[in-house]
Amino acid sequence: MTTLTLGKALNAGLRRALAADDKVVLMGEDIGTLGGVFRITDGLKAEFGANRVVDTPLSEAGIMGTAVGLAYRGFRPVVEIQFDGFIYPGFDQIVAQVAKLHYRSRGNVRMPLTIRVPFGGGIGAAEHHSESPEAYFAHTAGLRVVACSNPADAYVMIQQAIASDDPVLFFEPKRRYHVKGEVDETASLADAKPMGVASVVASGTDVTLVTYGALVQTARDAAIAAAEDGVSIEVIDLRSLAPVDYATVEASVRRTGRLVITHEAGQQGGVGAELAASVTERCFEFLEAAPVRVTGHDIPYPPAKLERHHLPDLDRILDGVDRVLGRPNSLSGVEA
């Protein structure tokens, strides 16, 4: 075991993927000489060369579209989008080409792209640097969408994403890049938990709390706080947003009878909406209360000094837990 930050764990995972398969190429803005604005690709250009770790022009559609061409030729491009809010110029290539070419070519052309996206807020950043665009991609057939939350998962999941023959949107919780954890760099990928499987990161009996990315730590903290209040919360790190591991979520909800979902992204049409609907359809008779969503507001990401009023935090999550338990909460007395 090695102690690594989440960022360094990604770096180590990328290094191992580059070494394992010479068809793996990294592409992005500032990822080569600089090592990326978050240094996730630090040192990789020096180690593998400019044709494996490619500094590209400032053109997200260009990066995505040339990656499609490289995939046509048998490469496995790993694309870095510098910040979540910069992905939209590449949106057409992702949704119309990356997601659909395997289908459009009747399985003849594979698109094993990994699209790395540092996502979410909480770092006091400028506009367009704190967004959570995952639902756009979870909505798009042909894509897989995952989010890592800790160094051990980051190290394994980035390699699994690169090895996947399907395109993967890989969301990285940028405000957790510096969080440290134990990573087993000798572990075999074959033995690792598949990236499509969720993790129960805290066991509990009263409420199932589902989240992903940066909020996993917040949810765990909420579970500890709730325990002091006599409420037992089971925390699930979803890891895969498309497809969702409903087996794990359902098994938990059938035991607890209560579901709270939290994410930084807005509520409307979000991952939480889909999860609430699906869980309600699948285990309605086990539910003691309607599922509760604790999400970012449906607003453009606010200025840095307001972001704490936008992002779900420990107290807002606990307020949601109170709602699902029918205890006094922010909506007590309000007609539904």
Partner 1 sequence: MTPSDRDATGLLTKPDHFVQLITPAGERRADAEHDPWVADVDAAALGRLYRDMAIVRRLDAEATALQRQGELGLWPPLAGQEAAQIGSARALRDDDFVFTSYREHAVAWCRGVGPAELLTVWRGSASSGWNPYEHGMAVPQIIIGAQALHATGWAMGAAWEGTDAASVAYFGDGATSEGDVNEALVFAASFDAPVVFFCQNNQWAISEPVGLQSKQPLARRADGFGMPGIRVDGNDVLAVLAATRIALDRARRGGGPTFIEAVTYRLGPHTTADDPKRYRTDDELTEWGARDPLTRLLALLGTMGVDIEGLERDIADEAGRAAAELRAAVTTIPDPEPMTVFDHVYAEPNTHLARQRDHYARYLAMFDETDAAASGAAGGAR
Active-site residue set: 129
- Record the tokens describing residue 116, joined without a space: 């790395």
> Minimum distance from CB of 326 to partner 1 (Å)?
32
Q: Among 256, 252, 232, 255, which Cα is nearest to 244's?
A: 252
Q: Among residues 41, 149, 164, 252, which is the contact residue for partner 1, using CB under 8 A?
A: 164
**Span from 87-95, 179-187, 256-264, 299-307 in contact with partner 1 (CB under 8 A):** 87-95
On whether the CB atoms of residues 201 and 222 are closer than 8 A, the answer is: no
Site for partner 1 contains 141 (CB under 8 A): yes
Give residues 270-309 in contact with partner 1 (rule: CB under 8 A).
none
Q: Is 272 helix (H, G, I), strand (E, B) or coil?
A: helix
- Interaction of residue 170 with partner 1, rule CB under 8 A: no
Diameter of the chain by CA atoms? 63
CB of 193 to partner 1, least distance (A): 15
Residues 220-239 that bind partner 1 (CB under 8 A): none
Least Cβ distance, residue 60 to partner 1 (angstroms): 9
Would you say 133 and 143 are in contact if contact means Cβ atoms under 8 Å apart? no
**Residue 193 lies near partner 1 (rule: CB under 8 A):** no
Interface with partner 1, residue 56, by CB under 8 A? yes
Among 8, 116, 129, 144, binds partner 1 (CB under 8 A): 144
CA distances from 279 to 115, 219, 258, 296 (A): 28, 19, 10, 21
The answer to whether residue 206 forms part of the interface with partner 1 (CB under 8 A) is no
Give how many residues touch partner 1 by CB under 8 A.
Answer: 48
Quick one: which segment of 99-107, 124-132, 202-210, 301-309 binds partner 1 (CB under 8 A)? 99-107
Q: 44, exposed or middle or buried, with CB in 10 Å at 0-12, 13-18, 19+? A: buried
By CB under 8 A, residue 159 contacts partner 1? no
Residues 60/83, Cβ–Cβ less than 8 Å: no
Q: How far is the CB of 264 from partner 1 (least distance, A)?
A: 23
Q: Is 190 an interacting residue with respect to partner 1 (CB under 8 A)?
A: no
Q: Please report whether residue 72 would count as binding partner 1 according to CB under 8 A.
A: yes
Least Cα distance to 223 among 213, 235, 211 occurs for 235
- Distances in Å between the Cα of 1 and the Cα atoms of 186, 188, 260, 331 are 8, 13, 34, 46
Q: How far is the CB of 108 from partner 1 (least distance, A)?
A: 5
Give ∠ CA 326-299-301 in degrees, rounded to 5.
110
Of the candidates 66, 208, 217, 262, which one interacts with partner 1 according to CB under 8 A? 66
Site for partner 1 in 105-134 (CB under 8 A): 105-110, 112
Give the sign of the dihedral formed by CA 136, CA 143, CA 117, CA 192.
positive
Helix segments in 105-231, DSSP class H: 134-138, 151-163, 215-228
Element (H, E) at 106: none
Distance CA 149, CA 280 (A): 26
Among 39, 91, 139, 196, binds partner 1 (CB under 8 A): 196
User: Interface with partner 1 includes 61 (CB under 8 A)?
Assistant: yes
Residues of span 8-47 touching partner 1 by CB under 8 A: 25
Task: Pick the binder of partner 1 from 67, 154, 158, 283 (CB under 8 A).
Answer: 67
Point out which residues bind partner 1 (CB under 8 A). Answer: 25, 51, 56-57, 59, 61-62, 64-75, 77, 89, 92-93, 96-97, 101-110, 112, 141-142, 144, 164-166, 196, 242-246
